[in-house]
Amino acid sequence: MTAGLFFSGCDDTVRETIKYVINEPVAMTAAEFRSFPIRTKAPQEIESQGKICFYEGYLYICEPGKGIHIIDNRNPASPQPVGFIELLGNADVAIRDGKLYADAYVDLLWFDIANPAQPQLLGRIEELFNEALPATQNDYGYDYNMCMSEKEKGNIVIGWTLKERSEEVVRYRGNGEYLYLNEMSPNSGGGAIANGTNGVNGSMSRFGLYKDYLYSVINYTMAIIDLSGAEPVKAADGIYIGDVETIFSYGDNLFLGTPTGMSIYSVKDPLAPEWMSTVWHVFGCDPVVVENDLAYVTVHSGNLCGQNNNELLIIDVSDVNSPKLLVSYAMTKPKGLGIDNGTLFLCDDGLKIYKVGDPQQLMANRLVHFQNMEGYDVIPYNNVLMMIAEDGLYQYDYSDLGKITQLSRISVGK
């Protein structure tokens, strides 16, 4: 941001010309968006990393904004791409009882995956995620007013164009400081546990499953979808939940990762999530996983995540009304993480694997550190660790913690 100062005739006022960069929305009509074909195609190259979900031997990888890659992972030493669901605006996926649920910008779609290589589209709920906006993929905020204007016209925001603007701002000196008389345009940024019938999501997911309900956290709003019938049904009006980035289901609670802390909501009454507590931390993006009443939270910087703080937090959540931060560790730039039977998998400067026990001694119990890749998220399941990274889908055998070995890699990106 740059500024040129223009002084008025009065000593206590200042006019500034401020230059800044902002994302302006690219939109299309709802009719045009819903006319795009939704079909399963032959396997496609994975061009960019995204959210992941594992279900009954198959791995589903979201290609942000484009669709879902289907990988036959029954032999993780030789994974086989078998198909691609072309789905404009997709970012997240969840699976329950042979049905795959996926977002497409503001809509929810669901598929029958009895034949995983040939998913069958079953239906769509329009405007379920009516606050949803695509990720900006850069360090700049977006023009909220322009987005709302597009929504009022019945259009759907599908992307962004980066624009440089100049704007005059008038200030006056009050109490020894300059205060704004007018403001710039708004510039705001914007896991499920396997139980036999659910897919297993990575820690970056905004979808969480509890009993017969699917919960989503998208752009300040929690949606609740009842999956108990033949078709999913919107179970309640959207609940304002604040700026939440990730969701993890554990016991009767949802653990929500936000830019400023980890919040815990009870879903004992599935239709009325109740806030239990929040553990605050420095500003940063943060997924969370939980095992044995210990929550593991990563805080990472970059993009719109905030400051240059990179940490792993371990929190005692045995009392969800009064969680206690036990310890924090400095990290390089941690992202997704997973926990399985006392083994912690962490995307940080590659992949770090720890044997958990005494939280105060975690760093002394690192088992291995695989480097030379930028991990994004992980799913540990049945002694196989699946990790999506910038350059590939990596898989590791951790059945012998003394000899963790790489099984395979599928390339991601060019």
Distance of alpha carbon 164 from alpha carbon 161, whole angstroms? 10
Distance of alpha carbon 255 from alpha carbon 202, whole angstroms? 13
pLDDT confidence of residue 193 = 42
pLDDT confidence of residue 285 = 61
Report how far apart, in Å, the C-alpha atoms of 215 and of each of 6, 127, 209, 263 are: 51, 15, 6, 15
pLDDT confidence of residue 38 = 93
Among the listed residues 228, 230, 206, the one whose alpha carbon sits nearest the alpha carbon of residue 94 = 206
Please give the single-letter amino acid code of residue 223: A
- Strand segments (E) across 136-220: 155-174, 177-180, 200-201, 207-210, 213-218
Distance of alpha carbon 395 from alpha carbon 387, whole angstroms? 6
The residues, any chain, with a CB within 8 Å of residue 353's CB and separated by 6 or more, are 343, 344, 345, 346, 366, 367, 368, 369, 385, 398, 404
Q: Are strands 207-210 and 213-218 parallel, antiparallel or unpaired?
A: antiparallel
Distance of alpha carbon 137 from alpha carbon 183, whole angstroms? 25
Distance of alpha carbon 250 from alpha carbon 232, whole angstroms? 22
CB 299 within 8 A of CB 286: yes
pLDDT confidence of residue 213 = 97
Per-residue pLDDT of the chain (414 residues; tens, 9 = 90+): 544 444 444 556 677 787 889 999 999 999 999 999 999 999 999 999 999 999 999 999 999 999 999 999 999 999 999 999 999 999 999 999 999 999 999 999 999 999 999 999 999 999 999 888 888 877 788 888 999 899 889 899 999 999 988 877 665 544 443 333 333 333 333 344 444 489 999 999 999 999 999 999 987 889 999 999 999 999 988 888 888 889 999 999 999 998 878 999 999 999 999 999 998 765 556 799 999 999 999 988 765 544 567 899 999 999 999 999 999 999 999 999 999 999 999 999 999 999 999 999 999 999 999 999 999 999 999 999 999 999 999 999 999 999 999 999 999 986
CB 314 within 8 A of CB 295: yes
CB 334 within 8 A of CB 346: yes
The full set of domains in the chain, from first to last, is 2-23+142-180 (no CATH), 36-130+189-411 (2.130.10.10)
- The structure tokens listed for 378 are 């992980």
Q: What is the DSSP letter of 362?
A: G
pLDDT confidence of residue 353 = 98
Distance of alpha carbon 241 from alpha carbon 176, whole angstroms? 38
pTM: 0.86
Q: What is the DSSP letter of 38?
A: -
pLDDT confidence of residue 414 = 66
Q: Which residues pair with 5 in a beta bridge?
A: 16
b/e 205-214 (16+ beta carbons within 10 angstroms → b): bbbbbbeebb
Distance of alpha carbon 61 from alpha carbon 63, whole angstroms? 6
Among the listed residues 52, 91, 58, the one whose alpha carbon sits nearest the alpha carbon of residue 216 = 91
Among the listed residues 71, 66, 26, the one whose alpha carbon sits nearest the alpha carbon of residue 47 = 66
